[in-house]
Amino acid sequence: MNKLAFLLIGTLALAGCSSAEKSAPAAGALAPVNSACPYSGGKVKNDVTSEFKGQTIGFCCAGCKAKFDGGDDSAKAAISAKATQK
């Protein structure tokens, strides 16, 4: 890929993380164990979550969720531990 494509993809990924849109938990979903995104530190959206080993991990945007979902179990365990600290 050329530099312009990387720049465009990066810009789109960051734009999704800066959304101020409010969200509510999906019906029947467990609330996330974290209030800050383990990747960006931004506020978690209650409807942007993934489940890992019985815990609901929240993310600020679909890009951060996709990054988590694409990781292997060891990466997910590290992010899960980071999300539940405090």
Domain ranges within the chain, ordered by starting residue: 3-18+30-83
Mean pLDDT of successive 10-residue segments in the chain (86 residues)? Answer: 52 50 54 95 96 96 97 95 82
35's torsion region: left (phi>0), alpha (psi -120 to 50) or beta? Answer: alpha
Q: Cβ distance 12 to 40 under 8 Å?
A: no
* SS3 label, residue 61: coil
